[in-house]
């Protein structure tokens, strides 16, 4: 009989606790389709970060800072975000190529500009740069890395951006390549 | 024998209490494939009109709430907006039984100022 009173007492206490505490506990619901939307979001904002940040804090600072900020925000939603970006800025008879790496491991990125090739090794969480010669109003660039790459013709007189994004939550993975 | 029954009943009551407490304080978030309110669409619409970056940079949560409400995607729901930069958040999640959270990340408007705009939609 005493033992049964233990069980009844436990159930009573649980019920009182639930009545008292339940209204203060809210459930926050996240949309599982938001990985694709985050990819779209990055497609519009990474180039914008480059444009407005080119002077201050500078191209590497703006892109590394914004990539890190976005990865932290994504992490808050249970999304793992990895990012690799390549910014190509015009120079005098050359282009300055900066590669940023937030892929979680060291990356070696192949950059071929009009037939001149350079392998740029970048530690995780850092950026590295190189300079490659160009002539004429545009150039052909071929970017290769462990997860993909692209080939494109770019104008010699403006800053261009390539980015690779990998978003994952559990078994779901979304990849996106951005060219701007 | 009686003592063993009392012991078992006490153990069962202890397990009931522990399970209840564990469930009460367990992670209280869930993921739905299609929540009924289109918070992201509302924020995206405000961004498409060229307004979201400026309001986020000036931490104007009221303006974003007004513009998001005007999109029509939030009808039938109450909503609040929070703007979070690298160091702090302006605004917070509401206290409601079920809150739908959508966010949009911006890099800044006319200068570099990354921020996350979070729209919380809820009923009641």
Q: Which residue of A has its CA nearest to B87?
A: A69
Please give the share of chain B, as a percent, with pLDDT higher than 90. 60
Residue A96 has pLDDT above 70, yes or no: yes
Q: Cβ atoms within 10 A of the Cβ of B28, count?
A: 11
Region A135-142: mean pLDDT is 94
Residue A25 has pLDDT above 80, yes or no: no
Q: Which residue of A has its CA nearest to B31?
A: A30
Query: What gap in Å lies between CA A59 and CA A56, rounded to an integer?
Result: 8
Count Cβ–Cβ pairs < 8 Å, chain A vs chain B: 139
- Band of pLDDT at residue A64, cut at 50, 70 and 90: very high
Which pLDDT score is estimated for A32?
Answer: 56
Residues 53-112 in B contacting A (C-alpha not used; CB under 8 Å)? 53, 84, 86, 93-112
Alpha carbon of A3 to those of A8, A14, A67, B3: distances in Å?
Answer: 9, 17, 59, 9
Query: Which tens digits make up the pLDDT trace of A30-58?
Result: 555 688 999 999 999 999 999 998 888 99
Distance (Å) from the alpha carbon of A66 to chain B's nearest alpha carbon = 6
Region A130-159: mean pLDDT is 94
Q: Name beta bridge partners: A148.
A: A145
Q: Do the beta carbons of residue A81 and residue A162 sit within 8 Å?
A: no
Distance (Å) from the alpha carbon of B65 to chain A's nearest alpha carbon = 19
- How far, rounded to the nearest angstrom, does the alpha carbon of residue A39 sit from its chain's CA centroid? 9
Q: Which residue of A has its CA nearest to B106?
A: A45
Query: What gap in Å lies between CA B57 and CA B62, rounded to an integer?
Result: 13
Give me the residue label for tokens 């500009």. Answer: A113
Residue B111 has pLDDT above 90, yes or no: yes
The verdict on A19 touching B (C-beta cutoff 8 Å) is no
Residue A113 has pLDDT above 60, yes or no: yes
CB contact under 8 A, B107 and A42: no
Say what angle helices A2-21 and B2-24 make with each other, to 10 degrees: 10
Region B15-33: mean pLDDT is 67
- Band of pLDDT at residue A74, cut at 50, 70 and 90: very high
Task: Give which of B112, B115, B122, B123 to mutate to test A binding, by max A Cβ within 10 Å.
Answer: B112
Which pLDDT score is estimated for B33?
Answer: 52
Average of per-residue pLDDT values in chain A: 90
CB contact under 8 A, B95 and A73: no
- Band of pLDDT at residue A15, cut at 50, 70 and 90: confident
Q: Do the beta carbons of residue A127 and residue A104 sit within 8 Å?
A: no
The verdict on A149 touching B (C-beta cutoff 8 Å) is no
Query: Which tens digits make up the pLDDT trace of B43-102?
Result: 999 999 999 999 999 999 999 999 999 999 999 999 999 999 999 999 988 988 889 999
Residue of A76, A83, A86 whose CA lies nearest to A34: A76
Query: What gap in Å lies between CA B10 and CA B110, rounded to an integer?
Result: 66
Which pLDDT score is estimated for B28?
Answer: 56
The verdict on A136 touching B (C-beta cutoff 8 Å) is no
Q: Name beta bridge partners: A97.
A: A88, A130
- The domains of chain A, with CATH numbers, are 32-179 (2.60.40.10)
What is residue A22's DSSP assignment? G
Distance (Å) from the alpha carbon of B37 to chain A's nearest alpha carbon = 10
The SS3 call for residue A41 is helix
């Amino acid at each position: 009989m005493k033992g049964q009173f233990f069980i009844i007492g436990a159930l009573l206490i649980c019920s009182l606790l639930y009545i008292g505490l339940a209204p203060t506990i809210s459930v926050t619901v996240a949309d599982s389709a938001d990985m694709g939307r985050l990819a779209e979001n990055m497609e519009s904002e990474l180039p914008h970060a480059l444009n407005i940040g080119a002077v201050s804090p500078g191209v590497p600072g703006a892109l590394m800072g914004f990539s890190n900020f976005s990865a932290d925000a994504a992490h808050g939603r249970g999304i793992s975000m990895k990012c690799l970006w390549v910014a190509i800025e015009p120079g005098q008879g050359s282009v300055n190529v900066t590669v940023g790496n937030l892929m979680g491991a060291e990356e070696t990125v192949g950059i071929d500009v009009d037939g001149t090739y350079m392998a740029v090794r970048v530690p995780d969480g850092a950026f590295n740069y190189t300079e490659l010669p160009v002539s004429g109003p545009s150039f052909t660039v071929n970017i290769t890395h462990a997860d993909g790459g692209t080939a494109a013709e770019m104008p010699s007189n403006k800053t261009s951006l390539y980015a690779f994004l990998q978003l994952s939550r559990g078994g779901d993975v979304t990849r996106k390549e951005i060219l701007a | 024998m009686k003592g063993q029954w009392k012991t078992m009943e006490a153990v069962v009551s202890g397990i009931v209490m522990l399970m209840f407490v564990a469930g009460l304080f367990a992670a209280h978030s869930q993921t739905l494939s299609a929540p009924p309110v289109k918070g992201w669409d509302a924020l995206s619409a405000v961004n498409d009109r060229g307004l979201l970056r400026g309001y986020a940079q000036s931490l104007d949560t009221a303006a974003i709430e007004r513009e998001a409400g005007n999109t029509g995607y939030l009808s039938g729901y109450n909503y609040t907006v929070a703007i979070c930069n690298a160091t702090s958040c302006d605004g917070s999640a509401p206290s409601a039984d079920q809150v739908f959270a959508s966010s949009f990340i911006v890099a800044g408007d006319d200068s570099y100022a990354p921020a996350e705009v979070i729209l919380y939609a809820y009923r009641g």
